[in-house]
Copies of this chain bind each other. A is one copy, B any other.
Amino acid sequence: MSTSPVIETQFRVRYAETDAMGIVYHTNYIIWFEVGRGEYFFQQGMSPADWEQQEVYFPVSELSARFLAPARYGDLVIVRTWVRERRSREVTFAYEVLMAETGQMLVTGWTKHLCVSGEGQVVIIPPNLRDMLRPIEGS
């Protein structure tokens, strides 16, 4: 049984994302994690419009990040996103943010998500989403 892919998203750092230290403000990397996560679903065939017809969603229940080196305005960065763990009712995504040109690692982290119904109940991940979320073992 194959695993799901590692998805890469590439973009330039916006000026709005910097702070008075001249570097990217730390919570913006966490926003980039979600940009990677959105792209993950998108590249597996799940568009934003598809989400509206889906009966579940995946709010963040827990997150962790390590900041190794800063990005600056205009830097070209890559976010790598993959599934690290999947249970019946929750899924954990892992991320790496790195400099596109040098490969230097900037930030690593993960987010855990519960599968929640429209009524706010924690439910089992539906089969079509489950298939998109096959974890990379040992990652």
Interface residues, chain A, with chain B CB atoms under 8 Å away = 11-12, 14-16, 18-23, 25-28, 30-31, 34-35, 38, 42, 47-49, 57, 59-67, 70, 72-75
Contacts and interface: CB of A to CB of B under 8 A. Distances in A.
Copies in the complex: 4
Contact of A74 (B18, B48, B73): B48
Contacts of A28: 27
Contacts of A65: 62-64
A28 to B, nearest CB: 8
Contacts of A35: 14
Point out which of A23, A27, A31 has the most chain B C-beta atoms below 10 A from its C-beta: A27
Contacts of A63: 26, 63-65, 67
Nearest to A26: B60
B31 A27 contact: yes
Given A14-B35, A34-B14, A35-B14, A48 B19 contact: no
A59 B16 contact: no
